[in-house]
Each structure stands twice: as C-alpha cells, then as structure tokens.
C-alpha cells in the first residue's frame, strides 16, 4: 500500500488484468457524498490520454467509534511513468525522438483541453503523473481527485 495521492494505492489483479486500486476512507456523511460525487464525475471522464476509472465500489461500515465509508477506485495499471522513463533514457543516453515528443505533447494538450471543456482541472502536471502504456502512449493521472471548478491560483 502507498499512502500518496490522497488515499492508499495498491495493485490488484482481476480476470488476468492488473489495476491500480485507490482506496479512500471517509468518516462523515458529508465527506462520503462529496467523495462519491467526485468519483462518479471522475469515472465519466474518458480520453485516450487520461487514466480512466474502470470501476469503483462503495462500502459503508458502522463501527464502535463511528461510521466509515470506503471507496475503492480501479484504474488501468501502467507500470512506467515519464519520470522513470526520462531517468532510464538519460542513464542509457537513449534520447526521445522529436516525433515522440511532439506526439506526447499533443496528446497531453488535447487531454487538458478535454478536461477544461468538462470543467475539470488537474492541477499537478509533472512527469511522475504521466504514465506510459505498453506502446509509450502518455496517460495523465491525477495525484488527488481532479477538481471540478477552478482554483484561485
């Protein structure tokens, strides 16, 4: 389990496919409704360069200390990110082609435009938040829930 990204992260396998499972636990009804709303909205976002929620599960529990709600979100798993790829290539002096760089940038800009049209803002774009699938296609991830609505910054 990894505690980054606003929840615990783990790798799970279902039907011979690996997924990243992001687990978020909240303790109030208000937090649960907010997280469920954000998760539902996040699951509707579909773009070839955006890491998509494939499924999510909601579990409510009443315990001695109070009620808890757990949301498990299943994302496609891509083991490589741009930060690791840059480091690997720098060590091996294996440079990116200009064509790949242009294609990657176009895909990310197109994805950000799509998110902007949906009123959604990523807010933390950096190489470690750009996953690469098996063919090298960039997949933008959110390090926390993607915000619906602009910030003041």
| CATH assignment at residue 96 | 1.10.510.10
Bridge pairing between strands 80-81 and 120-121: unpaired
Nearest by Cα to 138 from 149, 125, 147: 125
Domain of residue 66 covers 8-148
Please check whether residue 3 lies inside any domain of the structure.
no
Q: Is residue 73 part of a domain?
A: yes
CA 80 to chain centroid, in Å, comes to 13
Count: domains in the chain: 1
144 CB neighbour count, 10 Å cutoff: 15
**DSSP3 helix / strand / coil % (the chain, rounded to 5):** 30, 35, 35
144's tokens: 């926390």
Per-residue pLDDT of the chain (153 residues; tens, 9 = 90+): 344 345 566 777 767 777 778 888 888 888 888 888 888 888 888 999 998 888 888 888 777 766 788 888 888 888 888 999 999 999 999 999 999 999 999 999 999 999 999 888 777 889 988 999 888 999 998 754 444 444 433
């Amino acid at each position: 389990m990894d505690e980054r990204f606003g929840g615990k992260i783990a790798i799970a396998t279902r039907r011979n496919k690996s997924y990243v499972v992001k687990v978020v636990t909240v303790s109030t009804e208000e937090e649960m409704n907010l997280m469920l709303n954000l998760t539902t909205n996040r699951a509707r976002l579909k773009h070839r360069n955006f890491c998509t929620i494939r499924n999510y599960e909601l579990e409510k529990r009443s315990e001695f200390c109070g009620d808890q709600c757990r949301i498990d979100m299943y994302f496609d798993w891509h083991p490589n990110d741009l930060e690791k790829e840059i480091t690997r290539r720098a060590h091996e002096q294996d440079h990116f082609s200009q064509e790949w760089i242009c294609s990657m940038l176009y895909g990310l800009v197109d994805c950000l435009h799509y998110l902007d049209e949906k009123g959604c803002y990523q807010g933390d774009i950096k190489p470690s938040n750009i996953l690469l699938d098996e063919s090298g296609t960039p997949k933008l991830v959110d390090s926390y829930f993607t915000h619906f609505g602009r910030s003041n910054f």
